[in-house]
Chains A and B, each alone.
Chain A
Amino acid sequence: MKKRRMFIRMITASLMRRRSRMIVALLSITIGATILSGLVSIYYDVPKQMGAQFRNYGANMILTASGDSFKMSDVQSARAVFDEEEIVGIAPFRYENVRINDIPFVAAGTDAEEAKATSPYWAVEGDWFSAQGDVLVGSGVAESFRLKTGDMIEIAYTPEGNDESSEDGEIVLDNYDYFNVVGILETGGSEENYIYMSMDDMQALTQTEERVDVTEMSISASGDELSDYIDEINAKVPAVRASVVKRVTASEATVLTKLQALVLLVTVIVLALTMICVATTMTAVVAERRKEIGLRKAIGASDKSIIQEFMGESMLLGLFGGAIGSVLGYVFAQQVSVNVFSSSISFRPLLVPITMIVSIAVTGISSLVPIRSATDIDPALVLKGE
């Protein structure tokens, strides 16, 4: 039989046949590994989780025209730059001056679903527009005309050049359309004085070419990542100029950094506590086995083989503890994520081997001192029969 096989046979026998003792040690390593891998999961998921939370505050990037205007196809090109998963919403807006009962207002054409996503804090009484001819009116507008959902309004648009006496003398008439008020919008901001409708309705009303004035983008990314995207869009889509909404992104970055620092600090403390806990357990294990160590030395074990055997045992414990801990850590992180961020955490397969390696290393290092002391045991004293 090879020496290595006997070595493995010995350390597995020690772990398996001294189960009740080893379970205590395994428990301390597992708990440490669980909290450690859980916290690391949370640490790496915090930007993603918080990013999603931050998106409740609205768009963090906007597209404006680099020249006169840009089109929906440019918005699509810009959209292609992102991973689909990162896009919370990309809402294009086209603004036109319109009149209701000869009173001027601003109407905006947009995509209802996308606008809903980029501005989740908009409160709508009734519904968003969905069918042709539906409009969402700001509460300011609604108040002016005592509008409520279900009312019909007439919106007039004055095409360019309609100054009653155009150059060729031809009279250009205003465009009129009737719209169905499906919802009243409250935002606490200037949007309350706008009228929102679909891009198609806007185009039908104005009878002009398709156009986008500004696009609000809510992207689940922060800091450098966002800057990279901006550079990419500016390079790839010449018709638009992308920029960050500094007010949002800067405060997001601050909060994120602080939160991650906090999680990191807790992780380091847990790591230190785990090491102390494992070292204490290993000290107890060594103390309990003084006689066995004495015997092994008496029958010819060198200090090196004693260290190897105990290290082998503790590292095997570290391996098991790390394996169990990485699974439980995921469950732990998932629970935290669901309860705190109300969303699930992504499983990181790489974290399993990393947790196992860290767990083995921590167990090894923290066992070093008690195991070194095991070699000082005097076989003659330990084996004294009395």
Chain B
Amino acid sequence: MSLLELKNVYKIYGELHALDDVSLTVEKGEWVSIMGPSGSGKSTMMNIIGCMDKPTKGEVLLDGVDIAKESKKNLTNIRRDKIGLIFQQFHLVNYLTALENVMLAQYYHSMPDEKEALEALERVGLADRAKHLPSQLSGGEQQRVCVARALINYPEIILADEPTGNLDEKNEEIVVELFHKLHDEGTTLIVVTHDPEVAEVAQRTLVLRDGKLSKEIVNDHFTGKIRFDDQNPF
């Protein structure tokens, strides 16, 4: 069974089809990038996969559960238990320290554990910045705190929306390297990005256009070869 499966998903706002008959599957442990121009439906798809929105039509199976049919309250629980979110704007609570921001995710999930939170910060190389407030951290550091927060509860999927959009090249590299590590550890990653360099390090890149999946690119990053597959049914 696939970890995530979208079957003929539509999201319609009046006349606008933000998602138009989208179907896709993501296997456990896979690293998938989603690319597409503005207005192509990337954010809508992120919100639906991230349990923050429901499709107008279609099935969204996460770990076998159709989240399209779940109540708002259950969606919150699924999001809390199965999904780690990373945002372009980092979105840290500005009056909590890096450590407390990571612990916040533990607090809503189960039990705050300072030691474990510190270990998560260590994994993203920020153990020495644990007591700093977001305003005292650079953009790259804030994004790494965000990664630590996303992975602290061992989610099924890490969902990253333009995670490198606000970072310089050096920090972009650090974050991509972190994704590598997570992928190696078996975490499922779905990364929405504008940046082809970030997209191509994933195993697969899905291209969205006008609410439809227009292209799937399978990246063989172990050999460095990129294979375009226009015959893909998407």
Contacts and interface: CB of A to CB of B under 8 A. Distances in A.
Interface of A: 1-3, 5-7, 9-10, 13-14, 17-18, 291-292, 295-303, 305, 378-380, 383-385
B87 A300 contact: no
B154 interface: no
A380 B47 contact: yes
A13 B88 CA distance: 25
A104 B100 CA distance: 97
Contacts of B105: 299-300
Contact of B52 (A5, A298, A302): A298
Given A380-B52, A385-B87, A301 B108 contact: yes
11 contacts: A1-B103, A13-B96, A18-B95, A298-B91, A299-B85, A299-B149, A300-B77, A379-B52, A383-B89, A385-B89, A385-B162
Contacts of B114: 1
Please give me the 10 A-B residue pairs with the lowest Cβ-Cβ distance, nearest first: A300-B80, A17-B95, A380-B52, A385-B88, A300-B108, A6-B112, A380-B47, A1-B112, A295-B91, A6-B107
Contacts of B89: 383, 385
B65 interface: no
Nearest to A302: B76
Contact of A385 (B52, B94, B161): B161
A78 B216 CA distance: 105
Interface string B78-93: 0111000101110101
Contacts of A291: 91
Interface in B56-83: 73, 76-77, 79-81
Contacts of A292: 93-94
Nearest to B95: A17
Contact of B76 (A3, A18, A300, A380): A300
B25 interface: no
Interface of B: 43, 47, 50, 52-53, 73, 76-77, 79-81, 85, 87-89, 91, 93-96, 100, 103-105, 107-109, 111-114, 133, 149, 161-162, 165
B76 A297 contact: yes
A3 B52 contact: no
Contacts of B108: 296, 299-302, 305
Nearest to B162: A385
Contact of B100 (A9, A299, A303): A9
A379 B108 CA distance: 15
A379 B107 CA distance: 18
Given A18-B95, A298-B52, A6 B79 contact: no
Nearest to A382: B91
A299 B52 contact: no
Contacts of B85: 298-299
Given A2-B111, A302-B76, 18 more contacts: A1-B114, A2-B112, A9-B100, A10-B104, A13-B95, A14-B95, A18-B95, A296-B104, A297-B76, A298-B52, A299-B80, A299-B105, A300-B79, A300-B108, A379-B52, A380-B53, A385-B89, A385-B161
A366 to B, nearest CB: 23
Contacts of B161: 385
Contacts of A297: 76
Contacts of B80: 299-300
Contacts of B88: 385
Nearest to A294: B91
Contact of B113 (A1, A7, A10): A1
Contacts of B47: 380
A313 to B, nearest CB: 11
A84 B99 CA distance: 64
A299 B158 CA distance: 12
Of the candidates A18, A300, A303, A305, the one having the most CB atoms from chain B within 10 angstroms of its own CB is A300
B79 A298 contact: yes
A384 B43 contact: yes
Contacts of B112: 1-3, 5-6
Contacts of B53: 380
Contacts of B81: 300
A299 B112 CA distance: 14
Contact of A295 (B76, B93, B100, B113): B93
A14 B94 CA distance: 9
B178 to A, nearest CB: 18
Given A383-B87, A385-B162, A385-B165, A300 B96 contact: no
Contacts of A6: 103, 107, 112
Nearest to A384: B43
Most B-side CB within 10 Å, residue of A2, A6, A7, A302? A6
* Residue from B43, B80, B93 having most chain A Cβ neighbours under 10 A: B93
Contact of B96 (A10, A378, A380): A10
Contacts of A299: 79-80, 85, 104-105, 108, 149
Nearest to B79: A300
A249 B165 CA distance: 82
Nearest to B47: A380
A201 to B, nearest CB: 81
Which of B108, B149, B162 gathers the greatest number of chain A CB atoms within 10 Å?
Answer: B108
A14 B111 CA distance: 20
Count chain A CB atoms within 10 A of each CB in B53, B89, B95 and give the residue with the most. B95
Contacts of B52: 298, 378-380, 383
Most A CB within 10 A of own CB, among B94, B107, B161: B107
A301 B79 CA distance: 10
Contacts of A18: 95
B157 to A, nearest CB: 14
